[in-house]
Amino acid sequence: MTDQLNWIEKATDIPASGLERDREATAAELQAVAQALDILKVASLSTNYRINAIAGNGYRLRGRITANVEQACVVSLEPVSGKVNADYEVEFFPAVDVKDDEEEASILEGTDIEVLEHGIIPVGRIVYETLSASLDPYPRRPDAEFNWEDPKAKDPEKVSPFAALSKLKPPG
């Protein structure tokens, strides 16, 4: 996943006042993201984020992504344009110790908590996952209609869901 957007920040490079940055995906990154998400096109993808040090030797990454995408219509397979505007917030700590009963509570709190591995904050992975989770799962063109008829049916008006069952009924 991190191959598409290899955007990282080193914890050692974050000043005490925090780090704020704007990033925009290159043409190659846009193509890689579209291919990884199995969608037609990612026309643009940008993010604005801020990283602050927090208690417990942790860091909070908070930002917003904006993207323009094209997905295939679930009915006609024609392109459907979409816009994504989504916020994300993740906290990174050198070690995360979550007990089973606390795990459910932390999931419901809203802020994701991850392990800070090798002092690297994987901004690109978080942006990619946020985009992936924000896509329309069933993109559909407004004028798309699903008009399917059973090719085996002789008279479409007389076809019933129980027609096949009536053929199984013993004679008599």
* Chain length of the chain: 172
Tell whether 167 is covered by a domain: no
Q: Average of pLDDT values for 132-139?
A: 92
Average pLDDT, the chain: 85
Number of domains in the chain: 1
CB 110 within 8 A of CB 48: no
16-29 residue pLDDT tens: 999 999 999 999 99
The string of DSSP codes covering 83-110 is EEEEEEEEEEES-----HHHHHHHHHHS
Q: Which residue has the higher pLDDT, 115 or 48?
A: 48
With beta carbons less than 8 A apart as the criterion, state whether 96 and 118 touch. no
In a domain, 117, yes or no: yes
**Entry pTM:** 0.77
- Look at residue 164 and tell me if it is in a domain: no
- Separation of alpha carbons 59 and 43, rounded Å: 31
Predicted pLDDT of residue 159: 61
**In this predicted model, what pLDDT tens digit does every residue of 25-79 receive, in sequence order?**
999 999 999 999 999 999 999 999 999 999 888 999 999 999 999 999 988 888 9
Phi/psi of residue 47, nearest 5 degrees? -145, 150
Sign of CA dihedral 79, 85, 91, 96: negative
Quick one: which of 67, 62, 60 has its CA closest to 24? Answer: 67
pLDDT at site 100: 53
Q: Is residue 124 part of a domain?
A: yes
Range(s) of the domain holding residue 26: 9-147
**Confidence check: pLDDT of 1 > 50:** no
